[in-house]
Amino acid sequence: MSENETSNGALVRVEGVEKVFHRGTEDIHVLADLSLRVPAREFLALMGPSGSGKSTLLNLIGGLDRPTKGSVTVGGEDIDRLSDRQLARWRARHVGFVFQLYNLMPALSAERNVELPLLLTHLSKAERKKHVETALAVVGLSNRAKHSPRTLSGGEQQRVGIARAIVTDPTLLLCDEPTGDLDRKAGDEILNLLQALNREHGKTIIMVTHDPHASARAARTVYLDKGQLGSDPVK
């Protein structure tokens, strides 16, 4: 991704996006004429009630879904125009996902879980090992590399999930309720880590959350309601 693709505008551009899901004969309008810009190296929180379209928007930005109308551009790449194969390659290179429930493979060790995205690359085994070691060091889990997920706490499992998300050095880090399954102490540790990834490593982060305590860690918060961007709700 070249510098001129982001220096004169946003890294992420969502323009006039609509998303409609079809359930039988019923059309479910989830996003309506939504536009959003996210500068490079920003830590953005998306908030809103359940069903407001937060996760749908995150999935569109991450190339997991396509808009019904409008465009999604990341780093100058109009991703909704890519073929399925091109989109899969783009996603593997440019997006790291962090999920609420970790999505770790229980039969694999922490280091093997982190290595999984690298299996889609042309890196050698030695190169993959170096990347995995670096990612685990960044999240503070070098000493737990050989442990299976069942022997790790919830917070440690989420750290493994974050290491897996950053191991390819992605352009974007997309987090869907990353503290939603953790207690406050473990959640704060994850939020501290996300802030460090943003401030010290320059990662652009978009985080969906219901928790005002979590959104307060972001540099900016936007609110979705009924598929549209709105103002800060009255507290």
Residue 8 in domain: no
Domain membership of residue 121 (yes or no) is yes
Task: Establish if 151 belongs to a structural domain.
Answer: yes
pLDDT in tens, 150-190: 999 999 999 999 999 999 999 999 999 999 989 999 999 99
Cα–Cα dist 9/83, whole Å: 25
Q: How many structural domains comprise the chain?
A: 1
Whole-number pLDDT of residue 232 = 55
Give the range of the structural domain holding residue 218, as residue numbers without chain letter.
40-66+82-230
In a domain, 200, yes or no: yes
Position 169 in a domain? yes
5-19, 70-84, 99-113: least confident range: 5-19
The model's pLDDT over 192-206, given as tens digits with 9 standing for 90+, comes to: 999 999 999 999 999
CATH code for position 114: 3.40.50.300
pLDDT above 70 for 223:
yes
Model's pTM, two decimal places? Answer: 0.91
Tell me which residue of 9, 59, 10 sits closest to 30, measured CA to CA: 59
3-state helix, strand, coil split of the chain in percent (to 5) is 40, 25, 35
Within-domain flag for 176: yes
